[in-house]
């Protein structure tokens, strides 16, 4: 798919594939087109050219809400919670939004708050959560829709390093326990390298590289995109 904004090519012929039971990392420098791609995949934006398929069905013209009801969920860089509602109510609302009954929504919320370590905050206003717990609430809201696929847009941004391993366990649980496919966009390379089965790298709106974490870690083009050619050359000399 491609996406242009008044002559600026944010994406140029980018293809990406995500299966259930896997975590795919999407990385790249700032301005590489990562958030634009996620917005197109989830129906918050539409491609200038190309298409989006979900379970073999062309959903390019579908709204974000319709895609959500068919198994596609996402988290956001910034909180989209209902800050005056309780943490539990936020998760229940997400379940209700895809057709769950009130009782089922409440049970689903309880299970997810336990899974994500938020049960102690269940009745607290969502707006009172610390930053890391607010990120977990975003994941709980996404999982409340019982998705086949979850797209996480910088979920670890602002997390203390000490909390990153715990969040990595959450991502694995989404893949292993819920059987969902996860597209993980983040700048935390330790997290990306730890949890991803495959990684795709964007640079200036195009696919620079894709492969296993080991392949991406050793790719000099990827290192140059992040660190600059001079840094890579200095590393080679050393």
Model confidence pLDDT, tens digit, residues 33-51: 998 999 999 999 999 999 9
Model confidence pLDDT, tens digit, residues 155-205: 887 777 888 888 898 899 889 988 999 999 998 888 999 999 999 999 999
Mean pLDDT of all residues belonging to the chain:
88
**CATH assignment at residue 57:** 3.40.50.300
Would you say residue 233 lies in a domain? yes
The DSSP call for residue 49 is B
Read off the pTM. 0.85
Please tell me the total count of domains within the chain: 2
The last residue of one of the domains, among 145, 161, 181, is: 145
Would you say residue 92 lies in a domain? yes
The DSSP call for residue 81 is S
Please indicate, yes or no, whether residues 63 and 169 belong to a single structural domain of this protein: yes
Please indicate, yes or no, whether residues 67 and 151 belong to a single structural domain of this protein: yes
Please indicate whether residue 57 or residue 139 has the higher confidence score (pLDDT).
Answer: 57
Contact 3, 45 (CB under 8 A): yes
Please indicate, yes or no, whether residues 218 and 163 belong to a single structural domain of this protein: yes
Residue 233 confidence (pLDDT) above 60:
no
Residue range of the domain that includes 57: 3-71+147-237
The last residue of one of the domains, among 126, 145, 164, is: 145
Model confidence pLDDT, tens digit, residues 17-27: 999 999 999 99
| Residue found under tokens 């496919």 | 181
Please indicate, yes or no, whether residues 16 and 128 belong to a single structural domain of this protein: no
Please indicate, yes or no, whether residues 90 and 196 belong to a single structural domain of this protein: no
**Integer Cα distance of 28 and 236 in angstroms:** 21
Would you say residue 115 lies in a domain? yes
Per-residue pLDDT, 229: 47
Handedness of CA 197, 140, 136, 60 (dihedral sign): positive
Per-residue pLDDT, 234: 46
Would you say residue 76 lies in a domain? no
Would you say residue 89 lies in a domain? yes
The last residue of one of the domains, among 145, 165, 200, is: 145
**Integer Cα distance of 183 and 200 in angstroms:** 10
Report, as an integer, the average pLDDT of 97-111.
Answer: 91
103: confidence class by pLDDT, cuts 50, 70, 90: very high
């Amino acid at each position: 798919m491609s996406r242009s904004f008044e002559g600026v090519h944010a994406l140029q012929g980018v293809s990406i594939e995500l299966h259930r039971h896997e975590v795919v990392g999407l990385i790249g420098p700032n301005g590489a087109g990562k958030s634009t791609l996620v917005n197109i995949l989830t129906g918050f934006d539409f491609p200038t050219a190309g298409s989006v398929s979900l379970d073999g069905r062309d959903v390019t013209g579908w709204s974000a809400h319709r895609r959500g009801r068919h198994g596609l969920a996402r988290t956001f860089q910034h909180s989209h919670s209902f800050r005056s509602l309780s943490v539990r109510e936020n998760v229940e609302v997400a379940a209700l939004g895809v057709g769950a009954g009130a009782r089922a929504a409440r049970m689903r919320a309880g299970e997810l708050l336990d899974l994500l370590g938020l049960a102690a905050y269940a009745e607290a206003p969502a707006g009172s959560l610390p930053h890391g717990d607010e990120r977990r609430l975003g994941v709980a809201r996404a999982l409340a829709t019982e998705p086949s696929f979850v797209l996480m847009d910088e979920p670890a941004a602002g997390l203390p390093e000490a909390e990153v391993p715990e969040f990595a366990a959450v991502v694995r649980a989404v893949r292993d326990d819920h059987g969902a496919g996860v597209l993980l966009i983040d700048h935390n390379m330790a997290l990306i390298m730890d949890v991803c089965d495959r990684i795709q790298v964007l640079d200036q709106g195009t696919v620079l590289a894709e492969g296993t974490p080991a392949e991406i870690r050793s790719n000099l083009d990827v290192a140059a995109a992040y660190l600059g050619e001079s840094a890579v050359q200095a590393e080679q000399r050393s």
